[in-house]
Structure 1
Amino acid sequence: MRSPWARRVLTAGALVAITATGITIGTLLGAKGSSDVGPFRVAFQLTPSTDGGTEIAIPPLGSLFLDSHDGPARLTVRLDSLDQRRTEALLDDPAGLAHASATAPEDLRDALVRLGLRTVGVSVLTAMLLAGLTFRSVRRVAWSGGFALLVTGGTLGTAALTVRPQALAEPRYEGLLVNAPALIGDAQRIADDYSRYAEQLQRLVGNVGELYTTVSTLPIYQAAPDTTRILHVSDLHLNPAAWPMINNVVEQYDIDLVIDTGDITDWGSEPETSYVSMIGQLKAPYVYIRGNHDSPRTAAAVASQPNAVVLNDSVTTVAGVTVAGIGDPRFTPDKQEAEAGPWEEPATTVEGTGKQLATTIRSLDQSVDIALVHDPASATALNGATPLVLAGHTHQRKVTTMPPTGTVTTRLAVQGSTGGAGLRGLEGDEPMPLVMSVLYLGADHRLQAYDDIQVGGTGTAQVSLSRKVVDDKPPVNPAAPPATPADN
């Protein structure tokens, strides 16, 4: 028979094991939650750790690690989403933004206090429940609860007492954020620039909502019922502020088709693929070609969206419009194309890509309304093959008519950066504006007019919109009989 001391030791060991199991289960169940911090939805989680610290996850860019406190608990903070309704409510209230900034630290502190209390409460209750099921003794249940309270409370207390506020100034980066210093230069300067940029972007959603009212005051061009409206975007470069703009324009203008001429990402990496998931939330088809900052993985992620079509030397008909497109032959995610060259030698040149697409178009039994290339240098060979060529890459909006050839007059429309060039847009004295265009195609699918939309830039967050009516007429087919009065 075991001695009384041996039984006590075994019982104590079993009690400790049951309590530890309860704490572990309780931590997994209770040490996580989410809370509203200003317009953001933020997720929190506590996990056991020997060295403590805080991880701030910013999908899809990566994570920041702060040596904020000692173990044995690590805090993970994940920025999940920006709530559009709360953002608009803040914008509608003149004092809303100032109030949100002032209350953000308090919101964060309250969320962490609730997380700590929930962790302690769930861990203690779980440990007591397991002890009750195992021992069926009120005294041992109380011991288990007290021990669980001591462990979890001591753990969180240790973390709270060792908090180092100065750790905020010494973050460690992982993921795409590792490249931030190389991409944007001096960290303090870019932080200052981004604070101004963020203030501007906070007003984007409200400003873009005013576009429809602005358009109603432009009497130059009245779209017919059979007009096809196409939104041309390009070079989003991972800027999350671009999606609310695109979504609002799609809804306000009743867009039939969105065309993206590439560089939707910066590095073409796996984490960036989550950025393109916003395509599936747009209420319009989305036609895309790969830019030189997009990888085959990026194109596959876009193709997986239910409303998206990826073109690569191929043709599709969407919303009644026939579109041909080809991806950029290069892959230069290092942003140092001029100095380092592409990572891989492309099989064809940029100009050769245009020739390849032109050959594909001319081999078809149908006419193509729009051709898509990323770099406008690819467009030369498409002159005369289609009436409209869309491109991006240069981050400068420009529309030109190519020299006449044959019976088709080709117009080249190069889009600016709908993402304000991403992080690179912060390198100058003022952030680059976010731009996009609405193209109006008539019943014959020829361009009749276009609206150039610009948000932000030049130190403001105002919306500007300019309309251009295309005054040239489609060429007459010499083989067709002349129109009679009844045909007009």
Structure 2
Amino acid sequence: MDGQENEEHANRGEDVPATDRAPRPAPRRDGAGRTGRRALRRTGVILAVLAVALVGVVLGVLAGGRVSTDIGPFQADLSVAPAFGGGTKVDIPPLGALLLDSHDGPTHLTVELGALDQSRTEALLDDPASINRASQSAVDDVREGVLRLGLRTLASAVLVTLLLALLVFRDTRRAAWAGALALVVTAGSLGTAAATIRPEAIEEPRYEGLLVNAPAIVGDARRIANDYTRYAEQLQRIVGNVSQLYTTVSSLPVYEPAPGTTRVLHVSDMHLNPTGWQLIRTVVEQFGIDVVIDTGDITDWGSEPEASYVGSIGLLKKPYVYIRGNHDSGRTAAAVARQPNAIVLSNTTTTVAGLTIAGIGDPRFTPDKNTSPAGSGLTQQTADQLIGVGDQLATTVRSSPRPVNIALVHDPASAGPLSGTCPLVLAGHTHDRQVSKLPEVPGKGPTQLMVQGSTGGAGLRGLEGEKPTPLTMTVLYFDKDKLLQAYDDITVGGTGQAQVNLERHVVEDPQAGVPAPVTPTPTR
């Protein structure tokens, strides 16, 4: 029945059938709707406060979770960052890093050892017994630094969260809730790390970078930890001997050359040993060196972290002529070239202090340390490579507009083709100092080959044998005609030894390059 029929019923006074009545709207339940909306809004606010708190904690930790502290003679930076697996990383530039499974929780600790403090290091050298005190205080230094780091991180996380919450909500109550959540989250994370700390993790580190070889060199860390007293005593003797070493070198007798003599210091195969730089600086100052020549292997792996090692070149304030060794990469050579006083030769010549010097880098890049010394076990392909670079340099020497006084190669196996092209060839690589004459070429003058030992004592590898590899360098004296007239071989006992020896050689006939009998000087 439609609306018209309903109207007729009404006009006659009849009731409209119930089935034909228009439906009435359902009563509104305003109270229940408002309750649902309030609950949804409250949930959204809670989630927003939680999100702001978490973001604030992350930003606060990244911004303020860092402190600087002294650990023994080192300046160290301690920092904490959010992480899933916990743990600690100890950065030791340029050698690499130690990774320790030290704790659980969402925090990762990084300890970066920086530069040595000069005054504290000198104090250790002057008083070797202070090594014991330094090792004991180092534990307290780390504990104090970590405590300050935790408090600073906590304060930074809460402060950043409060500021962020005020910017987002513009409501002090919600900002306070966000700050409280940040306090709970940060304190809980740091507390979890402290509760799960594993001190024994220091005995089972994982290594990155150059420290990959540390277990083989240093030995079993557990054994060293169990016998620390004996280890500390040995360390004291080494430190004491190093200080004596510097004193001894500074008092070495110096060859008295004729007026107009040019003094050249030949070094090679530093292999990252920082002691080598101290020796070089001492000899440069005491002997009045005009030019330093480096025949390569200044690093071990040619990696980017090692590039900082060559920064000591600039401190010498003398021309530093360098060729690349088989342990030096292209980036190593580039790092040397960036030093203001360095000259990198790559089948090129240069004139320094009146000496014309030609040099070429090693054709190989073999940082795995498995290459054999020159003339021992070389494959035919490698021998051909080495002779090939010698031929290249010989061509460069012959075409030089100025007569070449010194030619530089890294491996003495490359020296053969240079016979008769110049009076003197300097090399390294073998870690064994030798002086010889190259086979003469008919119609050409004689050529002397001088192979340097290792100025760095073969680096860390020098500790592998029963006796440490000595540190060696040679001072060459050239007369006004740029002919070799004498040379002093300086030998310093390897790590842990303080014996220093200087052997003076006077060349009887500079034109022939024949040395006189060796005259050793007193040693200390």
The TM tier, using the shorter chain, reads: 0.7 to 0.9
How many Å separate the matches in 1 of 2:85 and 2:378? 41
**Is residue 330–residue 345 contact of structure 1 (8 Å, CA) maintained in 2?**
no
Specify which of 488, 506, 515 is matched with residue 451 of structure 1.
Answer: 488
- Deviation of 1:28 (Å): 1.1
Letter in 2 for 1:441: F
- Deviation of 1:419 (Å): 1.8
Q: In the alignment, what sits opposite 2:408?
A: 372
Q: In the alignment, what sits opposite 1:486?
A: none
Question: Any residues of structure 2 matched to 1:395-434 within 5 Å, and which?
Answer: 395-402=431-438, 408-434=445-471
Q: In the alignment, what sits opposite 2:392?
A: 356
How many Å separate the matches in 2 of 1:59 and 1:157? 30
* C-alpha RMSD over aligned residues: 3.4
Question: Any residues of structure 2 matched to 1:244-255 within 5 Å, and which?
Answer: 244-255=278-289
- CA shift in 2, pair 1:108/1:23, >3 Å: same
**Is residue 58–residue 82 contact of structure 2 (8 Å, CA) maintained in 1?**
no
Task: Provide, for residues 170-215 of structure 1, a one-character-per-residue CA deviation record: whole Å limited to 9, x for no partner.
Answer: 222233433555x659546996999788656645764454256413
Question: Any residues of structure 2 matched to 1:306-317 within 5 Å, and which?
Answer: 306-317=340-351
How many Å separate the matches in 2 of 1:441 and 1:33? 54
How many Å separate the matches in 1 of 2:462 and 2:315? 26
How many Å separate the matches in 1 of 2:405 and 2:446? 12
Specify which of 191, 195, 219 is matched with residue 161 of structure 1.
Answer: 195
Unaligned runs of 5+ in 1: 477-488
- Deviation of 1:343 (Å): 11
Question: Any residues of structure 2 matched to 1:292-303 within 5 Å, and which?
Answer: 292-303=326-337
Pair 1:474 & 2:510 matched: yes
Task: Provide, for residues 120-168 of structure 1, a one-character-per-residue CA deviation record: whole Å limited to 9, x for no partner.
Answer: 1211222223334444554444433332222111111110110111111
Of 5-14 and 63-72, more deviation after overlay is shown by 5-14
Specify which of 266, 287, 295 is matched with residue 232 of structure 1.
Answer: 266
How many Å separate the matches in 1 of 2:218 and 2:90? 22
Letter in 2 for 1:51: G
Q: In the alignment, what sits opposite 2:247?
A: 210
Letter in 1 for 2:389: T
How many Å separate the matches in 2 of 1:344 and 1:383? 21
How many Å separate the matches in 2 of 1:144 and 1:245? 59
Secondary structure, aligned partner of 2:148? helix
Letter in 2 for 1:423: L
Letter in 2 for 1:350: L
**Is residue 201–residue 241 contact of structure 1 (8 Å, CA) maintained in 2?**
no
How many Å separate the matches in 2 of 1:190 and 1:336? 28
- Deviation of 1:30 (Å): 1.3
Letter in 2 for 1:40: F
How many Å separate the matches in 2 of 1:197 and 1:283? 35
Secondary structure, aligned partner of 1:74? strand
Specify which of 88, 92, 106 is matched with residue 126 of structure 2.
Answer: 92
Identity %: 56
**Is residue 245–residue 500 contact of structure 2 (8 Å, CA) maintained in 1?**
no
Aligned residues: 471
Q: In the alignment, what sits opposite 2:472?
A: 435
- CA shift in 2, pair 1:422/1:389, >3 Å: same
Pair 1:324 & 2:358 matched: yes
Pair 1:126 & 2:126 matched: no
Q: In the alignment, what sits opposite 2:184?
A: 150
How many Å separate the matches in 2 of 1:48 and 1:474? 68
Task: Provide, for residues 391-450 of structure 1, a one-character-per-residue CA deviation record: whole Å limited to 9, x for no partner.
Answer: 111111223355666574433221111222123212112322222223233332233333
How many Å separate the matches in 2 of 1:205 and 1:40? 19
Of 222-231 and 464-473, more deviation after overlay is shown by 222-231
How many Å separate the matches in 2 of 1:212 and 1:178? 33
- Deviation of 1:299 (Å): 2.5
How many Å separate the matches in 2 of 1:21 and 1:224? 74
Secondary structure, aligned partner of 2:507? coil
How many Å separate the matches in 1 of 2:285 and 2:117? 18
- Deviation of 1:251 (Å): 4.1
Letter in 2 for 1:414: V
**Is residue 250–residue 282 contact of structure 1 (8 Å, CA) maintained in 2?**
yes
Of 415-424 and 298-307, more deviation after overlay is shown by 298-307
- CA shift in 2, pair 1:444/1:99, >3 Å: farther
Q: In the alignment, what sits opposite 2:140?
A: 106
Letter in 2 for 1:87: T
Letter in 2 for 1:425: G
Q: In the alignment, what sits opposite 1:480?
A: none
Letter in 2 for 1:233: V
**Is residue 197–residue 431 contact of structure 1 (8 Å, CA) maintained in 2?**
no
How many Å separate the matches in 1 of 2:231 and 2:427? 28
How many Å separate the matches in 1 of 2:469 and 2:223? 14
How many Å separate the matches in 1 of 2:378 and 2:96? 24
**Is residue 208–residue 248 contact of structure 1 (8 Å, CA) maintained in 2?**
no
Pair 1:177 & 2:214 matched: no
